[in-house]
């Protein structure tokens, strides 16, 4: 399998598509999922091309995991979460839908199930969540 430079995340990284950006550093980019399965559902992705964990370099994986930990800690605080679910899918049979490596961070609350997949969120609410998360990061 080859990397498609026109996948939706590559377009977001190039600024061709909008997103609710939370954080970026030299190697990673974090934004809110527009079809969140939980309030505060974030995606962590390397800025450089790779299809998934199967072709990622050790450097891409290390950068993503460090950012994932930082964002998971932020989500726990920001959303008063009881826990975090991390997800990462590889190839279509493994559940991958966008073929650019990414990690899902889902803040979880006791007794609250994940929402069904494929439901678009209210953009105003996503904007509000992104602003709140960025403000917490700035402290």
Residues identified as active-site = 102
- Whether 44 and 138 have beta carbons less than 8 Å apart is answered as no
- Whether 103 and 60 have beta carbons less than 8 Å apart is answered as no
The C-alpha atoms of residue 105 and residue 78 are separated, in whole angstroms, by: 13
Residue 129: left if φ>0, alpha if ψ -120 to 50, beta else—which one?
alpha
């Amino acid at each position: 399998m080859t990397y498609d430079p026109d996948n939706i995340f590559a377009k977001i990284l190039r600024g061709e598509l909008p997103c609710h950006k939370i954080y970026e550093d030299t190697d990673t980019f974090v934004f809110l999922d527009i079809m969140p399965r939980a309030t505060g559902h974030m995606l962590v992705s390397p800025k450089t091309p790779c299809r998934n964990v199967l072709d990622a370099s050790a450097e891409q994986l290390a950068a993503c995991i460090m950012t994932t930990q930082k964002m998971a800690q932020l989500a726990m605080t920001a959303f008063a979460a009881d826990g975090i679910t991390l997800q990462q899918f590889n190839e279509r049979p493994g559940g991958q839908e966008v073929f650019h490596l990414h990690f899902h961070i889902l803040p979880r609350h006791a007794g609250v199930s994940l929402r069904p997949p494929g439901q678009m969120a209210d953009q105003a609410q996503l904007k509000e969540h992104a602003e709140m998360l960025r403000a917490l990061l700035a402290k």
